[in-house]
Amino acid sequence: MKVTVVGAGAVGASCAEYIAIKDFASEVVILDIKEGFAEGKAMDLMQTASLNNFDTKIVGTTNDYSKTAGSDVCVITSGIPRKPGMTREELIGINAGIVKMVSASLIEHSPNTIIIVVSNPMDTMTYLVHKTTGLPKNRIIGMGGALDSARFKYRLAEALGAPISDVDGMVIGGHSDKGMVPLIYKAARNSVKVSEFLSAERMEQVVQDTKVGGATLTGLLGTSAWYAPGAAVSAMVQAIACDTKKIFPCSALLEGEYGLNDLSIGVPCVLGANGIEKIVEISLSDAEKAKLVESAEGVKKTNQLLEVPAN
């Protein structure tokens, strides 16, 4: 298993680190446009190998896509990060050009790869890769829902005063502060619905805290978060590499599923060796359906800013 991570910034480096530590990949290539940056990150990470007990080879390269050849999975983290007060949608003008170029370069050297998109606005960047590369829909995956669900579980465990391993919850919809749909009435603590433990007001607070999870961290850090995004990507890559068939909420191209068409948005997906093995259509309440439709409308509005051929 060879994995390429494009972008040696904090998210890309964290992603590479977590993949290496889990030791399921033979090689991780980190690529960046900044001279020597990826090489330095790779060398630094390789010097932790004996300490963290992994054998994964980590290689860095400055914009040499030939070194990514034969990658089974490619992760696109490149683009400018969010700054305080900036929405994910405001990144579209700059990041669309970067993602389009990067995805084309990756496919040139790894035509059979599976692409995971992290760059923001994530749902729209995932849609862009679908519209410009011609890859089958199962091989293009947006990361957002996996991260949003991890943040949801963190807030649920906090509210419940429970160990996070006891908590299960899922976020669908767009990867944006307004577009996320945390499925609070499906969330559970060890199979018992959280509504048995929390008041309606406390559950609503969990939902709101989850939806602004990224913005909260951006305000505290002065830039986008990196540990949790890197961990979310590494978990998805591991599911593909090890063919685990685990379900992750992630941005998938919908063609009638959930009554939606011609957009990428967060829904539960089974991940395995073929990428998205199946889009899982779960039953939603009328309120949840309405929120998902509203979220989809927001994603489509952002997609309209792209210069891509319409269906």
Task: Supply the residues annotated as catalytic.
Answer: 175
The residue behind tokens 């009328």 is 286
Cis amide leading into 84 (omega within 30) = no
SS3 string, 148-167, reads HHHHHHHHHHHHHCCCHHHE
Strands 246-255 and 261-272: antiparallel
Whole-angstrom CA distances from 173 to 227, 252, 302 are 22, 10, 14
Span between the terminal Cα atoms of the chain, in Å:
34
| Closest CA relative to residue 83, chosen from 93, 94, 91 | 91
**Residue type, position 116, single letter:** I
With vertex at residue 246, the alpha carbon angle to CA 241 and CA 249, rounded to the nearest 5 degrees, is 110
